[in-house]
Amino acid sequence: MNTATFSFATIAPAMPEVVFSALLFTLLIVDVMLAEKDRHITYWLSLATLLATAVLCLVSLGQPAAVTFQGLFVADALSQVLKIVTLLTVAASLMVSRTYLAARGLLTGEFMTLTLFGTLGMMVMISAHHFLTLYLGLELMALSQYAMVSLQRDSVRATEAGMKYFVLGALSSGFLLYGLSMVYGATGSLELTRVAFAIEQGQALDLLATFGLVFVVAGIGFKLGAAPFHMWIPDVYHGAATPATLLVGAAPKIAAFAFVMRLLGTGLQGLSGDWQQMLVILAVISLAVGNIVAIAQSNLKRMLAYSTISHMGFVIVGILAGTDNGYSSAMFYTITYAIMTVASFGMILLLSRAGFEAENLDDFRGLNQKSKWYAFVMLVTMFSLTGLPPTVGFFAKLFVLQAALEVGYTWLVVYAVLMSVIGAFYYLRIVKIMYMDSPSGEMTLEPRADARMVLSAMGAITLLLGIVPAPLMELCVRAVAASM
Amino acid sequence: MILSLTIWIPIAFGVAVLAIGNDRNPLPARWLALAGSVLGFLVCLPLWFGFQPTADMQFTELRPWISRFNVNYHLGVDGISMPLILLNSLMTVLVVVAHWEVVTEKVSQYLAAFLLMSGFINGTFAALDAIVFYFFFEAMLIPMFLIIGVWGGPNRVYAAVKFFLYTLLGSLLMLAAFIYLYNQTNGSFEILDFHRLPLPLTAQVLVFLAFFMSFAVKVPMWPVHTWLPDAHVEAPTGGSVILAAITLKIGGYGFLRFNLPITPDASHALSGFMITLSLIAVVYIGLVALVQADMKKLIAYSSISHMGFVTLGLFIFNADGMLGGMIQMISHGFVSAALFLCVGVLYDRVHSRQIADYGGVANTMPVFAAFFVLFAMANSGLPGTSGFVGEFLVVLGTLKVSFWQAFLAATTLIFGAAYTLWMIKRVVYGAVANDHVAALQDVGRRELAFLVLLAVAVLWMGIYPKAFSNVINPTVLELLRHVSQSKV
C-alpha cells in the first residue's frame, strides 16, 4: 500500500484530468500575454480545452474500471459518461453566454479560468473513490463558483448572492465533513469500497454510522439544492449574472449526482434502509416547495430556481429507490435536466442585450411573433420540464416513477405526480406569455451564431430524445451497472 | 404500415407546413395542409374496406422502442378504434377546409397544430402499448392548448389553462396506474396483457379510479365537465369541432379499452356510480343547456348530455347498450361537428354567438338554414338521422336493466328536442331581426362542401346503421364476454 510507484499505469486512468489541468495552466499563461482586444482567444481556447478533454473521455469509455492512486480515484464507465456530459454542458453554457459576458466586460481570463477550475473540481468529484477526493473536488468546484457568482463586484445583488452562497456553502461543507468523520470513526476507513465492506460485514458501529449519515445527507441536500436546504438557490440564481447562474445550475447538478452516487450508492449502500427514509423527506419537501413557491415568482430566474428544487426532488425519488434501476433513472433525469437548464437559461441570454436583462416573465411577451423558432425551442423546453411527451422530460419522469413504484413507494409516486400538475401551471404560463400575449416593447435577439446553434441543438435534442430515449437510457444503465 | 401512415403523414405534413409557413402569403401553407389532410384521410380508407368483421386486432405493427422497459411500438385496430380513426381523419379535412377564408393570423401555425393533433389522435386510437398510448394522449395537449389559447375568443387564456390542467391531472394518475400494471405483469406495457392480468378487487378499484380520473375528464362526465363549456366556447371553430367530435371520444374509447377490460370486477362494482353520474349528465346538463343564451355554449352542454348517454350505454353491460354507446359516439362526432361548423358560419358573418343577435336567418340564408335544421334534428334524435340510432339502442339496453333508469335517460329525447329546436326557432325562423341578419350572404361553395358531406354522413348512419354496427358488433360482443369473467 505504501509503496507509491509513479508509473504511467497509475496515472493513465486519470488522463482526462491530467490533460485538462495541463491545458488549463497553459491557458492561464496565454491569457496573461493576450492584449485586451484578443480576449476572445481565451474563450476559444477554453472551448477547445473542454472539447478535447471530452474526446479523451470518449476514447477511454470502453476501458475496464480502474482504481488508482491508492484507492483515491476511480475511472469507470459511469465517470467517463458523466464527465463527457459535464464537459459538454459547460462548453454549451459558455457558448450561449459569450455575447452577454462580452457586453458586460466579463469575458475575461478570470471568468474562463474560474469556469475551468470549477469543471476540474466536478471531474474530480465524479471520479472520487475516497472521502478526501470527494471533498477535494467538491471544494474546488464550490470555491470557483463562489468567486464566479460575485465576479461582478459593482453589482450589489451579485455580491450579496456570492456572500450568501459562500456562507451557506461553507456551512454545508462543515456538515458534510462532520458526517464523514463520524462515518470514518464508525468504519475505520475513508475509502468508499472499504467503508461499504465494513458496513456489510457488520464491523461498523451502527449508531455512530447512522449519526454520521444524518449529517452527510444534510450536506448532500445543500449541494443538490433540495429542500429544506434550498435557501441559497433562489438568491444565488437571481443575484448572479445569468451566465454564472447557468454555470452553477447546469453542470454542477451532474457532479452532485455523481457525488450522491459515490457516497450513498457505493460507500453507504449498506445503510440504504436509513438514508432512504431521510431522502423521502427531502423529496417530499422539495417537490412541494419547488412547485408551489415557483407559482408566485414573476422573475424568470427565481422561478427556474424553484423549478430546480422540484426537479432535484424527482432525482432524489430515483435515488431513494436504491436499485440499479433507480440510479440509472436518476442519472437519466439529471443529464436531461442539464440539457433543459442550458436551453432555458440560454433563452434568457438570447433575449438579453447590453444594459438589459431579459429575466422577467414579461420580457418573453409575444416572442412567437418575433421568432417562431426560438419560441418553439422555449416551448419544447417548458413542456419538457413539465414532463409532457413528445419531449425527453416525459421519459425522465416515467423512468424515475417506475423505479420508485417498483420498490413499493406508491404513495410517493402519486404525490410526485400531483405536484407536477401544480408545476405544470407555471411552465404553462411562460408558453402562454410567448404565444398568447402580444409583444410589449422592443425585442432583440442575440446575433451570435454560436448561441443560436447551441439553443437550436438543445431544442432538437430535447425532442429527439423524447422520441428515441432508448440509447441514452441504455448508456445510463450500463454506466451504473459497471460502477456497482 | 397503414396505421403508421395514418399517424405520421399528418405529422410530417404538419412539420412541413410549419417550415414553409409565411404569414404574408399563407396560400402555400393552406394548400399543403389540405393536401396533407386529404392524403391522411385517403390512407385511412383501406382500414375501412380491408377490415375483417371479427374482434381481433388488425393491421398490427410491432417494433421494439425502448427494449429495456419492454416498450414496443405496437399498433393495431379493432371494431371500436377503427371507425374513430376514420372519423378523426375526416374531421381534419373539414377543419382545414373550414378555416380557409376565416383564419388570417398565424395561418401556418394554426394548420400545423391541427395536422399534428390529427396524427397524435390517430396514434392514441391505434396504440396497443400503454406507453405509446400515453405518449400520443399527452402530446395532444400541446397543440390543443395552443389552438384554444392563440386563436380562441376573448376569454381564451383562462379556458386553455383550465383545459390543460384538468386533463393533465387525470392523465398523470393514469400514468401511475400504467406503471403499477407494468410491475404487476412482470414487465409488460402491452394493453392486451393488462386485459389478461388477474387483480384483487381493491387494486382493481384503485386502477379503475385512476383511469376514471383521466377519461371522465375527457368525456367529460359530471362533475368534472366544467372545463368543457369554457374550452368549446373560447376555441376557434376548428378547435371546437375537433374537441367535440374527437377528443371527447377518447374518453369513451378509454373506458372501452382500459376500464372495462382491465378492471371488469371494479367496473361491475362501480357501475351504479357510473350510471348515476351519466344520468345526472343526461338530465341535469340537458336542463342547463336549455337556458343558454350563447349558441356554442348550448351545443357544448348538449355534448356533455349526449356523452352521458355513451357512458350510460357502456356501464349497463349489455350488447344493446354498448353498441348504442359506440354508435352514439360516432354519430355525435358528425352532429356536433356539423353544429359547431354551422355556428362558425354564422359567427364569421355576424361575429356574435348570442342567440339574441339572430332571428329570421332562414329569410336571408335559405340553403344554410336547411342544413342547420337537419343537424338540429339529428341532435335531438329524430329517426332517420344518426342521432336516433345510438340513443334508441342505449334506451333499449337500459330498459332491460331498469325501467326508471331508462325513463330518466329517455327524458333526453324531450330535453334534447327542447333546447335544440328552441334555439333553431329563435335563430332561424321568425322575422328578420336586425340589420346584420338582413345583410347575410348564403353559404358559398366551400361551406356547402362540408355541410353536404356531413349531411350525407348523418343520413347514411341514420338510414343504414348496419354498415357501422357490422364493424363494431364483434368487438363489443367479445368485450362483453371478457367483462363478464371475473379477474379477482
Span A57-90, pLDDT tens digits: 998 887 888 888 888 888 888 899 999 999 999 9
Are the beta carbons of A398 and B149 separated by less than 8 Å?
no
DSSP classification of residue A321: T
Look at residue B138 and tell me whether its pLDDT is greater than 60.
yes
Q: Cβ contacts (< 8 Å) between A473 and chain B: which residues?
A: 66, 68
pLDDT at A446: 65
* Cα B123–Cα B124–Cα B126 angle in degrees, nearest 5: 60
Residue of A317, A410, A435, A474 to mutate when probing chain B, most B C-beta within 10 A: A435
Look at residue A186 and tell me whether its pLDDT is greater than 60.
yes
- B422-447 mean pLDDT: 82
Bigger pLDDT: B103 vs B211: B211
Look at residue B359 and tell me whether its pLDDT is greater than 70.
yes
ipTM of the complex as predicted: 0.86
Distances (CA, A) of A136 to A133, A244, B472: 5, 22, 68
pLDDT at A5: 62
Dihedral angle computed from the Cα positions of residues B1, B6, B11 and B12, in that order, rounded to the nearest 10 degrees: 50
For A469, nearest residue in chain B (alpha carbons) = B66
C-alpha–C-alpha distance, residues B307 and B397, integer Å: 16
Look at residue B348 and tell me whether its pLDDT is greater than 60.
yes
Q: Which of B320, B287, B312, B469 is nearest to B392 (CA)?
A: B320
C-alpha–C-alpha distance, residues B104 and B20, integer Å: 16
Least confident of A62-76, A420-434, B5-19, B119-133: A62-76
Are the beta carbons of A417 and B175 separated by less than 8 Å?
yes
CB contact B164 to A (< 8 Å): yes
CB proximity under 8 Å: A 99-118 to B? none
CB contact A374 to B (< 8 Å): no
CB contact B163 to A (< 8 Å): no
C-alpha–C-alpha distance, residues A10 and A169, integer Å: 33
Are the beta carbons of A390 and B135 separated by less than 8 Å?
yes
pLDDT digits (tens, 9 = 90+) for A265-300: 888 888 888 889 999 999 999 999 989 998 888 888
Share of chain B above pLDDT 90, in %: 11
Name all contacts of B141-144 with Cβ < 8 Å and 24+ positions apart: B141/A388, B141/B167, B141/B168, B142/A379, B142/A383, B142/A388, B143/B113, B143/B114, B143/B116, B143/B117, B144/B113, B144/B117, B144/B239, B144/B242, B144/B243, B144/B247
pLDDT at A26: 92
Residue B368 pLDDT class (50, 70, 90 cuts) = confident
Hey, how many other C-beta atoms are within 10 angstroms of the C-beta on B52? 10
C-alpha–C-alpha distance, residues A142 and A121, integer Å: 8
A386, A390, A406: residue with CB nearest B139: A390
pLDDT at A1: 44
CB proximity under 8 Å: B 286-315 to A? none
C-alpha–C-alpha distance, residues B105 and A310, integer Å: 37
Look at residue B459 and tell me whether its pLDDT is greater than 50.
yes
Hey, how many other C-beta atoms are within 10 angstroms of the C-beta on B322? 29
Q: Cβ contacts (< 8 Å) between A414 and chain B: which residues?
A: 173, 176
Are the beta carbons of A470 and B65 separated by less than 8 Å?
yes
CB proximity under 8 Å: B 50-89 to A? 65-69
Residue B81: exposed, middle, or buried by beta-carbon count in 10 A (0-12, 13-18, 19+)? Answer: buried
Q: Which three cell numbers stand for residue B422?
A: 328552441
CB contact B109 to A (< 8 Å): yes
What residues contact residue B204 under an 8 Å CB cut-off, 6+ apart? Answer: B263, B264, B265, B266, B487, B488
What residues contact residue A29 under an 8 Å CB cut-off, 6+ apart? Answer: none
Dihedral angle computed from the Cα positions of residues B169, B174, B180 and B183, in that order, rounded to the nearest 10 degrees: -120
Q: Cβ contacts (< 8 Å) between B169 and chain A: which residues?
A: 418, 421
pLDDT at A153: 80
Look at residue B25 and tell me whether its pLDDT is greater than 70.
yes
B66, B156, B179: residue with CB nearest A470: B66
For B19, nearest residue in chain A (alpha carbons) = A373
CB contact B176 to A (< 8 Å): yes
Rg (CA), chain B: 21
CB contact B182 to A (< 8 Å): yes
Look at residue A106 and tell me whether its pLDDT is greater than 90.
no
Helix or strand run (H / E) with residue B73? strand B71-77
User: Considering chain B, what is the average pLDDT of its residues?
Assistant: 87
For B210, nearest residue in chain A (alpha carbons) = A414
pLDDT at A154: 83
Are the beta carbons of A473 and B68 separated by less than 8 Å?
yes
Query: How far away is chain A from the Cα of B148, in angstroms, using its nearest Cα?
Result: 10
CB contact A408 to B (< 8 Å): no
pLDDT at A316: 93
The three-class DSSP label of residue B80 is: coil
- B140-166 mean pLDDT: 85
Dihedral angle computed from the Cα positions of residues A377, A382, A387 and A392, in that order, rounded to the nearest 10 degrees: 20
Is residue B7 within 8 A of residue B119, CB to CB? The reply is: yes
CB contact B142 to A (< 8 Å): yes
DSSP classification of residue B258: I
Partners of A401 in beta bridges: none
Amino acid at B261: P
Q: Which of A46, A54, A57 is nearest to A80 (CA)?
A: A57
For A386, nearest residue in chain B (alpha carbons) = B168
Cis peptide before B223 (omega within 30 of 0): yes
Query: How far away is chain B from the Cα of A112, in angstroms, using its nearest Cα?
Result: 38
Are the beta carbons of B179 and A399 separated by less than 8 Å?
no
- A150-176 mean pLDDT: 89
C-alpha–C-alpha distance, residues A313 and A333, integer Å: 11
Q: Which three cell numbers stand for residue A178?
A: 462532520
B146, B164, B183: residue with CB nearest A405: B183
Query: How far away is chain A from the Cα of B174, in angstroms, using its nearest Cα?
Result: 10
**Most confidently predicted of A4-13, A206-215, A309-318, B474-483:** A309-318
**Most confidently predicted of A192-206, A413-427, B225-239:** A413-427
For B105, nearest residue in chain A (alpha carbons) = A369
Q: State the alpha helices, DSSP H only, in B351-427.
A: 361-364, 366-379, 386-401, 403-427
Q: Which three cell numbers stand for residue A338?
A: 442539464
B66, B67, B149: residue with CB nearest A432: B149
Are the beta carbons of A417 and B65 separated by less than 8 Å?
no
Residue of A392, A411, A414 to mutate when probing chain B, most B C-beta within 10 A: A414
Are the beta carbons of B149 and A410 separated by less than 8 Å?
no
Share of chain A above pLDDT 90, in %: 43
Q: Cβ contacts (< 8 Å) between B69 and chain A: which residues?
A: 399, 402
The three-class DSSP label of residue A68 is: strand
pLDDT at A341: 93
pLDDT digits (tens, 9 = 90+) for B249-280: 999 999 999 998 999 998 888 888 999 999 89
Partners of A299 in beta bridges: A360
- B92-111 mean pLDDT: 83
C-alpha–C-alpha distance, residues A140 and B93, integer Å: 61
Query: How far away is chain A from the Cα of B168, in angstroms, using its nearest Cα?
Result: 7
Residue of B11, B69, B151 to mutate when probing chain A, most A C-beta within 10 A: B69
For B22, nearest residue in chain A (alpha carbons) = A372
